Every structure is written in structure tokens, then in C-alpha cells.
Homo-oligomer: A and B are copies of this chain.
Amino acid sequence: MTTAHEPVIDVLRPIVSQGLGSVETVPVQGARVRLRQVTTGPASIEGALDESLAVPALIALARQSEAEGASAVVVDCMGDPGLDALREAVGIPVLGAGHTAMHMASLIGDSFTVLAVLPRLVSRFRIAARTYGLESSLASVRSVDIPVLALDGEQEELVARRLAETGAAAVREDGAHVLVLGCTGMIGMTRRMERLLAGAGVEGVPVIDPVPLAVGVAQALVRVGLSHSKRSHPDPELKPVVGYPFATTRG
């Protein structure tokens, strides 16, 4: 049951796929979560080019969320595509799954490892940690080498094992104290991983599933009335824009 004054948190998926209606609502404790996804852009996000093509539609989506009463939005991708642009575009809090997960990992342990799905993303996470000012807490980034699109399949057990093996190596060899799933399409993996890690003698290492945690952080911000700084993310100047009609108006 949700009540009238519960905050609405919109989770914005930056990829075009079949599996999701235009908006789906999920109840979580103390909030209403709406899933929205873009209608232009790539089928998966595996690098800077993919991210670039997802952002224009994400901007439109965030403005729609704000117009339709969302209290905050979470960008549902570890690459945080368009995070700065979205924060300029709207006034409600915008959280990136990757940005939030890395901060929360630093908050609960001395060092963390991101488990990237592909080797090509390893360096991007390292640079992201530096951009976010979190470089000294980053133990490592390791790839589990699973194509993003394959995550939708039924190979969940295989994926959990690869994640646990790679995570255990990060703990033992890189000094990781917290593990962060490097993809937001791995819902339900953390419990499985913990069992597998414990079986391998690696206990006491939290595993962060980024989106559910980011939703909770968004609620915490909303409750105390905080949003991102408009000094860091000022409203955009109005100006002529060719090709993106939504970009010259707001709300």
C-alpha cells in the first residue's frame, strides 16, 4: 500500500528494449517507484558512443518525470549517461546508479571494486571514480566478461558464479572491501553472490546492487528536502536548438 504523501522515484532506463511498457510502477517501502525507458537510443550501453546516443532521450524523459510529479529520478545505468545534463535539465534530485553506488561503497568500507561486465568498461569506471573524486577508495575494476545483452538470458547461475569468482579475486588480490555490481541489469544477484563468496571463504564483504540502493538514497534526499547543487548544475540557458524540440522548453 502506498499513501498520498509518499515520494515518487522514477527509474530511467537509457536503453531501447521490448521488455518494458512505457511506465511501470513498483511499490517499495515508503515510496512509489516508476520505471520509464527511452524510445530512441541504443539497445545496450557498452561505451561512450552508446551513452551519447542515449542522453537526448534521457533528458526528455527526466523532464517528463518532473512534470508528472516525480520527487527524484535515478539513471538506471552504471555509466551514469547524461548525469550532468539531466541535473541541469531538472530541479528534482537526479542520481546516477554508478555515482551513487561508488559513494555508498566508500561510505561502508575502506576500498571497493567495481565488477564490470566487459573488459572495455574497466578503464571507464576507473576514470569515473577519478572524476567523482573517489580515486583513493577504488581498489580495482575487474571485468567478468559477460556481454550486457546476455544478462537478460537464463544463465543466471553462471553469471553469479563469474561474479563471485571475480569478486573473490578482487578481495584477495586487490584488497577490495566492498564489491559493486558493474551493471544495473543484475537484480537479485547479491544474495546469491554472498552465498557463493562465503562458500569460497570470503565473508564480511558487502555487495552493492546499485539501483535499489540509489532509490533509497533518493528517498533520503527527498525527505530532508535536498537536491543537487544548482551551482554545480545550473539551469541551462535558453537558446536556439536544431533537432531536439524538447530542449528549448522545460517541464
Contact = CB atoms under 8 A, between A and B. Distances in A.
Given A40-B244, A43-B241, A247-B42, A229 B108 contact: yes
A106 interface: yes
Interface string A209-250: 100110111011101111111111110110111111001000
Contact of A40 (B48, B190, B242): B242
Copy count, this protein chain: 6
Contacts of A175: 122-123, 126
A239 to B, nearest CB: 5
A16 interface: yes
B206 A216 contact: no
B88 A241 contact: no
Contacts of A50: 236-237, 239
A40 to B, nearest CB: 3
Given A204-B229, A224-B209, A229-B178, A123 B100 contact: no
Contacts of A237: 44, 46-47, 50
Contact of A220 (B16, B217, B225, B234): B217
A212 B240 contact: no
A108 B227 contact: yes
A234 B135 contact: no
B247 A53 contact: yes
Given A204-B229, A204-B231, A229-B204, A16 B127 contact: no
Contacts of A209: 224
Contacts of A47: 84-85, 88, 234, 236-237
Interface string A176-219: 11100000000000100000000000011110110011011101
Contacts of A49: 59, 85, 88-89, 236, 247
Given A85-B49, A100-B107, A134 B131 contact: no
Given A56-B56, A103-B107, A232-B110, A16 B206 contact: no
B223 A29 contact: yes
Interface in A21-49: 28-30, 39-44, 46-49
Given A53-B56, A130-B133, A135-B136, 16 more contacts: A41-B241, A43-B241, A47-B84, A99-B107, A100-B107, A104-B221, A108-B221, A108-B227, A110-B232, A134-B134, A171-B231, A204-B229, A217-B217, A217-B220, A219-B220, A220-B220
